[in-house]
Chains A and B, each alone.
Chain A
């Protein structure tokens, strides 16, 4: 049934229907609506789950890690500084091969304090062994959260389902919420293959010598390499029941496109309208939305942009000293493809600044007319600020 709700509640509804058993989280704007709804569900019996109200994000992920190790389905949610505080445990969760699902709301990091949309928080965690999905709207948040449990429990890796602060987390949209029976068909109860048990005592997470540590890491990489095909299976089953499918990337009008704009998150929604406007004026733009960032769907990206004359990557994030993070990944995906289109990088919308249709159209024209820039990336719509010392 379609209901009007925030992106935050699209996440919490999926968690409710996934019958998560242990939740632990610590509040941070703009994640709070997700955990408040879940605390309410645990309190009023809508969910049969334990909500551990811990004293920090570091403890939240630690508690979820141990609960998952003991064999129940788990969930946490955070944003920005909270995710940064979890960093140590992010590695621990994937290293322990735990199918934890997290809702992550993309928010800027301080200083100065800024609660608005910016992807640098989650992208800075790209090497922690978590699968990452970036969502465009509330429906995608809901669906992807359900996918996430199936996928995580299949490949034994944790999954982050990511949405933009406010533009998505606090924006009301219609979302189709299925009933419990339908969800149960897609997502069976969790049964853990390996769990800690007093009947079969073992030692988990212990000191691990070089003679075996490396193989353990190789296995994580091997699991990551299976994610793409497992995800397509998961999506096939999901679409048979719910008739919606996304793919790790979504190419829009890319077949004959001259300039392809590569986007993620809510900017994709804006970009769709810009593409059709430009098309109606006889231009040939395309759009490639990247949903799955880890593992990076390099094959899909190569296929989508192969025939384009130019590629423009729009990043609401920055790796200082390198440039936009999606841009770096796209470049490295294309490097061994000969020939490949030149890649233009744009930094836009940091700290919640609007990326409007005009911003995207300007990027299109600049890319179409321009030569390859000297620097790594172009900053979009920034003002001249006088520096004083």
Chain B
């Protein structure tokens, strides 16, 4: 089903080299539909460094500047400064990094840019591991996952870092989560980020990865949807690091989401129960924040927060 609120125009050429069902490729397609042709995309080392095309080709109809792995935040800052000095305030700068380039090696650079209140959109497409180098764990890899560096019984036994909370602690003007199975919600969030025109706007996009998650490529969108429906990856927004809006409340068991993925196949029922507990606690904490901020800070955001419910496609 094609949603009527998504622009038809495409800035991603066919023939790019992402794996079939790659959530990261779908995410870029949706993002650029909103941001449009006056966008400069900054890409540090990651799968998208390859998907964007080898010399002399490109898979995007907008300019791309590649950056070293740790520098998406600083590189986007330099692009913005240069455009500003040339009197161009119209062009949108978007940093587009994986979870490794955001949660781990690029975190310092991102944190610095957010603290300086630079003017650009930063998107982390999160496939929950270092996929480009062959599925090694990152600090975004969730508890319970097998990767090539957390193999066998050494599956990851620590929590996924909560990047949105870390950035909320910076009092970032806008942070939101988004998901390829909820394109209208994603569309709205990119529109909002674009229209703000100041500060770092952070969008954390859940990006299913058939290759790294050991799932069939045709299940990519369905599993992404399950991540939201099970509250594993809640859809929400945070304004100024303090005012929370929840866009969707799920109720499906976590095992429905996990049992269909090869990366979790080793987990026992007890493990899955533990994980259900973790997800419930995290979601309850998020709900507390939503409730407390809608009572304590009746800003103009409240209206949109109340009407923020979305439906998956």
Contact surface of A with B, Cβ cutoff 8 Å? 21-22, 24, 48-50, 52-56, 58-60, 62-72, 88-89, 92, 196-198, 200-209, 212
Contacts and interface: CB of A to CB of B under 8 A. Distances in A.
Nearest to A59: B74
Contacts of B86: 70-72
B231 interface: no
B63 A197 contact: yes
Contacts of A206: 49, 52-55, 58, 64, 66
B134 interface: no
A208 B63 contact: no
Interface string B162-200: 000000000000000000000000000000000000000
B81 interface: yes
Contact of B81 (A60, A63, A205, A207): A63
A62 B82 CA distance: 13
Given A66-B65, A208-B54, A72 B85 contact: yes
B73 A59 contact: yes
A24 B109 contact: no
Given A59-B112, A92-B68, A207 B49 contact: yes
B13 to A, nearest CB: 11
A59 B109 contact: yes
Given A62-B68, A208-B54, 10 more contacts: A54-B77, A55-B108, A60-B74, A66-B42, A66-B65, A68-B82, A88-B70, A92-B68, A201-B60, A206-B66
A353 to B, nearest CB: 35
B265 interface: no
Nearest to B64: A203
B66 A198 contact: no
B67 interface: yes
B136 interface: no
A21 B74 CA distance: 17
B75 A203 contact: no
A129 to B, nearest CB: 15
B296 interface: no
A61 to B, nearest CB: 8
Contact of B71 (A21, A58, A197, A198): A58
Interface string B92-119: 0000000000000000110110011000
A63 B74 contact: yes
A204 B62 CA distance: 11
Which of the listed residues A50, A71, A209 has the most CB atoms from chain B within 10 Å of its own CB? A50
9 contacts: A22-B82, A59-B108, A62-B75, A66-B82, A69-B78, A70-B83, A206-B49, A206-B55, A212-B56
A67 B65 contact: no
Nearest to B61: A201
A72 B84 CA distance: 10
Contacts of B84: 50
The 10 closest A-B pairs by CB, nearest first: A55-B112, A66-B78, A205-B66, A70-B82, A59-B74, A63-B78, A62-B71, A203-B58, A67-B82, A67-B78
A205 B63 contact: no
Which of the listed residues A21, A60, A67, A203 has the most CB atoms from chain B within 10 Å of its own CB? A203
Contacts of A196: 40, 63, 65, 79
A67 B77 CA distance: 8
B50 interface: yes
A50 to B, nearest CB: 4
Contacts of B10: none
Given A62-B68, A203-B52, A206-B54, A67 B63 contact: no
B60 A203 contact: yes
B91 interface: yes
B37 interface: yes
B56 to A, nearest CB: 8
A69 B68 contact: no
Contact of B78 (A52, A201, A209, A212): A52
B53 A207 contact: yes
A63 B116 CA distance: 13
Contact of A53 (B64, B91, B116): B116
Given A66-B65, A202-B63, A49 B85 contact: yes
B38 interface: yes
A310 B247 CA distance: 80
Contacts of A203: 52-53, 55, 57-58, 60, 63-64, 66
A92 B69 CA distance: 12
Nearest to B70: A58
B109 A55 contact: yes
Contacts of A24: 74, 77-78, 81
B50 A201 contact: no
A55 B118 CA distance: 13
A89 to B, nearest CB: 6
A269 to B, nearest CB: 37
Nearest to A202: B63
Contacts of A201: 37, 58, 60-64
Given A65-B78, A70-B79, A203-B57, A50 B85 contact: yes
Contact of B77 (A52, A197, A205): A52
A208 B49 CA distance: 11
Given A50-B84, A59-B74, A198-B38, A67 B79 contact: yes
A285 to B, nearest CB: 47
B39 interface: yes
A216 to B, nearest CB: 9
Nearest to B73: A59
Contact of A198 (B55, B63, B82): B63
B78 A62 contact: yes
Contacts of B91: 198
B223 interface: no
A198 B73 contact: no
A44 B52 CA distance: 42
A92 B45 CA distance: 13
Contacts of A64: 78
Given A21-B85, A89-B68, A66 B55 contact: no
A48 to B, nearest CB: 8
A207 B17 CA distance: 12
Contacts of B85: 21-22, 48-50, 67, 72
A357 to B, nearest CB: 46
Contact of B65 (A52, A53, A69): A69
Given A22-B81, A67-B79, A72-B86, A208 B55 contact: yes
